[in-house]
Amino acid sequence: MSLPFNLVPNTHRTHPEKLAEIVGASGFVKHFSDHMAIATWTQDAGWHDSKIENYRCLDMAPGNAILHYGQEIFEGLKAYRHADGSIWLFRPEMNARRFNRSADRLDLPQIPEEDFLRSVHALVRTDQSWVPAGEEMSYYIRPFMFADEAFLGVHSAARASYIVIGGPASPYLADGMTPTDIWVTKKFARAGESGTGAAKCGGNYAASLIALREGAQYGCSQVLFTDAATHDWVEELGGMNFFVVTHDGVLITPPTSGTILEGITRDSILELAPALGLRPEVRPLSVSELFARILDGDILEAFACGTAAVVSPIGRLMHDKDGGVETIPLPSPVGEATRAIRTALVDIQWGRAEDKFGWMHTVMELS
């Protein structure tokens, strides 16, 4: 039986003038749209009480398990408005599947893929006037699920809430193609073997924040994490996957073998690469190989990628070396390959290029 996500009658809508102002402004989700999708799960009744209602604050007891043990997962995807006004999602079924993999790891209930998709479509359809039309602007969608039960004993929740919220977004990093400086931390890890690194959960982000602060001391806006056991192997950023491009067109990214999140942008880039004259190579990349080959001029470009920032070029890597800080500049801070990959991806997302892989799904087709 499928979960309906119908609009509760007489919900509030933002005044059109105010809405125009919000939707036209830049920034990454500074305002949430008028509605949210919500459903409740209990051990006894399964999923029920699903609807689209006003975006609102949640009622929560101070003893709610989510506030204590962090049993939470989330997703992030975007709705794109094409030139003809139609609204599209990019590979949303991948988000649905990953959400359930994350749920499995955090011992939260599964939500059928169709219900996940229906909730996303229903929210975007309801708040379609919140989907911007501007260059590179989108409506960012945040589905999440959490233990929603007041108890302090440590066990998986017998009650969970699933909610989808969203809001207008310009690219996560203010200017999409300005190279960023990245701190390579060997002090902190975001994920360990058999841990939750492959799950999209708030706890991974909580564990990564201190490294952001470490890097910020040196002017770095993002952190590249290495493996927890040896700090010898490159993994990913706090919320983005990592790629390098060699002078002879090899595109290298480490394998997602449990400690790295399986990014949908990452996967899409690997699929797009051959047509751009790049040879994808998914293999372990050591920190020493990375640094040495950049300094040799053999690795020319590096970039981070994810739904929010799309493709973000890396200008310099910085790390702690013998008590000092070594800066390793990329020979091509905004390289040709990085540019080509970004363009290929955003052209598909905004409907300017043929969608050869069938990645785009129009929002109006599900009811």
Q: Which residues bind ligand PLP (CB under 6 A)?
A: 76, 200, 236, 239-241, 261, 263-266, 306-307
Residues whose CB falls within 8 Å of the CB of residue 260, separated by 6 or more in sequence, listed in order: 191, 197, 198, 235, 236, 241, 254
Q: Taking the complex as a whole, how short is the minimal distance between the CB of residue 367 and ligand PLP, in angstroms?
A: 26
Give the number of other CB atoms < 10 A from CB of residue 297. Answer: 10
Cβ proximity to ligand PLP: between 76 and 168 the closer is 76
Cβ proximity to ligand PLP: between 3 and 111 the closer is 111
Angle at the Cα of 365 (from 359 to 367), degrees rounded to 5? Answer: 130
Contact present, 142 and 127 (Cβ < 8 Å): no
Cβ proximity to ligand PLP: between 109 and 306 the closer is 306
Q: Taking the complex as a whole, how short is the minimal distance between the CB of residue 223 and ligand PLP, in angstroms?
A: 11
Q: Taking the complex as a whole, how short is the minimal distance between the CB of residue 144 and ligand PLP, in angstroms?
A: 12
d(CA 344, CA 179): 19
Cβ proximity to ligand PLP: between 118 and 266 the closer is 266
Q: Taking the complex as a whole, how short is the minimal distance between the CB of residue 307 and ligand PLP, in angstroms?
A: 3
Q: Taking the complex as a whole, how short is the minimal distance between the CB of residue 172 and ligand PLP, in angstroms?
A: 10
Q: Taking the complex as a whole, how short is the minimal distance between the CB of residue 179 and ligand PLP, in angstroms?
A: 19
Q: Taking the complex as a whole, how short is the minimal distance between the CB of residue 268 and ligand PLP, in angstroms?
A: 8
Return the bridge partners of 138, or none. Answer: 169
Cβ proximity to ligand PLP: between 159 and 266 the closer is 266
Closest CA to 176 of 359, 346, 348, 351: 346
DSSP symbols for 109-150: PP--HHHHHHHHHHHHHHTGGGS--STT-EEEEEEEEEE--B
Cβ proximity to ligand PLP: between 203 and 333 the closer is 203
Cβ proximity to ligand PLP: between 25 and 94 the closer is 94
d(CA 116, CA 361): 14
Cβ proximity to ligand PLP: between 241 and 312 the closer is 241
Q: Residue type for 319, please?
A: H
Q: Residue type for 174, please?
A: A
d(CA 280, CA 258): 20
Cβ proximity to ligand PLP: between 65 and 264 the closer is 264
Closest CA to 366 of 113, 136, 179, 170: 113
Q: Taking the complex as a whole, how short is the minimal distance between the CB of residue 161 and ligand PLP, in angstroms?
A: 20
Return the bridge partners of 184, or none. Answer: 224, 319
Give the number of other CB atoms < 10 A from CB of residue 323. Answer: 5
Euclidean distance between the first and the last CA atom of the chain, given in angstroms as a whole number: 15
Q: Taking the complex as a whole, how short is the minimal distance between the CB of residue 183 and ligand PLP, in angstroms?
A: 16
